[in-house]
Amino acid sequence: MFKMRILFEKKDDAAYISHLDLMKVLQRSFCRAKLPVKYSEGFNPHICMSILSPLSTGYRSKYELCDLELVSDGMPEEAEDRLNRVLPDGIRVLKAYPSAEGLAVAKIAYSAFNIELEGGNAEDALRIFEGDVFFEKRSKRGSKQVNMKDYIKSLSFSGTENGMLCECVLAAGDDPLNPSYVVGILREKGIVDANSVVRYTRTAVLDCDAKLFS
């Protein structure tokens, strides 16, 4: 048995594939690529795989990780090419490699995002996040009042042709901050229009030392 890790990107149309659907999309791609996938035991066997740190529907990503269990002893030949030939538009494997041992997933601490915004002034936007920003954070366990500062590792704004680009590194892992909260604050404070177009792209997943997690 062998565990392979796949680094892939997800853009354009594919950004709108939800997490559960993406699992299916990948599973079918593995079958088309004829990878020696491992099936679980039991009544309803399924392909043993997981997507690390899944994103909200609609988010683009240049840095998606998936672990896949194989029945082979090592890396399948040309895994990247075989997958890229059979993936739907917008999903592309950048690299496939042996997965690190142990509870590596627990080491994921941050996600880096680019948020493209329509309208807004970069200086005004940045000023909002200079001090404390209290907000209601919702999760499966209910909602709580928290300070956004505690969830932001870094955050910057720069002007673009039709608005702003926000580059930020936000908490991931157990208690993550969805970048839509950042946009929510900008909308609430009137920096950007409630009806404006927003594009989220994850650019990296980082460990607790803010090093690239791979």
Partner 1 sequence: MNDKLTACLERVRKPARYTGGEYNSIIKDKSNIDVRFAFCFPDIYEIGMSHLGSKILYGLLNSMDGVWCERVYAPYTDMEEQMRQRKLGLYALESKDEVKDFDILGFTLQFELNYTGVLNMLDLAGIPFRSADRTSLSPIVMAGGPCVYNVEPMADFFDLIVIGEGEEVMPELVNLYRKAKKVGWSKQEFLKNAAAIGGVYVPSFYDVEYKDDGTVKSVTAANGAPKTVKKRVVADFDKSYYPDRFIVPSTEIVFDRAMVELFRGCRRGCRFCQAGYTYRPIRAKSAETLKKQAEALIENTGWDEVSLTSLSSSDYPELNDLCTSLVAEFEPRHINLALPSLRADTFDINLVENVQKVRKSGLTFAPEAGTQRLRDVINKNLREEDLLNACKVAFESGYNSVKLYFMIGLPTETDEDILGISKMVKDVIYTFRQYGKNKARGVRVSVGVSTFIPKAQTPFQWAAQTEREEVLRKQRLLMDSLKIKNVTYSLHNFDSGFIEAVLARGDRKLSAVLEKVWEKGSRLDGWDECYSLDRWMQAFEECGIDPAFYANRVPEKDEILPWDHIFSGVTKSYLWSEYQNGLSGRATPDCKAGCRGCGALSLTGGGKCDV
Q: Does residue 29 belong to the site contacting partner 1 (CB under 8 A)?
A: yes
* Residue 45 found at the interface with partner 1 (CB under 8 A): yes
Question: Is residue 149 involved in binding partner 1 (CB under 8 A)?
Answer: no
Say whether residue 55 binds partner 1 (CB under 8 A). no
d(CA 91, CA 79): 15
Q: Does 81 bind partner 1 (CB under 8 A)?
A: no
CB 115 within 8 A of CB 168: yes
Cβ closest to partner 1, residue 91 vs residue 108 = 91
Q: Smallest distance, Å, CB 135 to partner 1?
A: 20
Give 96-127 as a 3 state SS string.
Answer: EEECCCCCHHHHEEEEEEEEEEECCCHHHHHH
In the list 50, 57, 143, 160, the residue contacting partner 1 (rule: CB under 8 A) is 57
Q: For residue 106, state whether it binds partner 1 (rule: CB under 8 A).
A: no
Phi, psi dihedrals of residue 106, rounded to the nearest 5°: -65, -20
DSSP letter string, 5-51: EEEEEE-GGGGGS-HHHHHHHHHHHHHHTT--BPBPPSSS--B-EEE
Q: Which positions from 110 to 139 touch partner 1 by CB under 8 A, shown as an x/- string?
A: --------x---------------------
Q: Which residues bind partner 1 (CB under 8 A)?
A: 12-14, 16-18, 21-22, 24-25, 27-32, 39, 43-45, 57-58, 86-90, 118, 195, 197-199
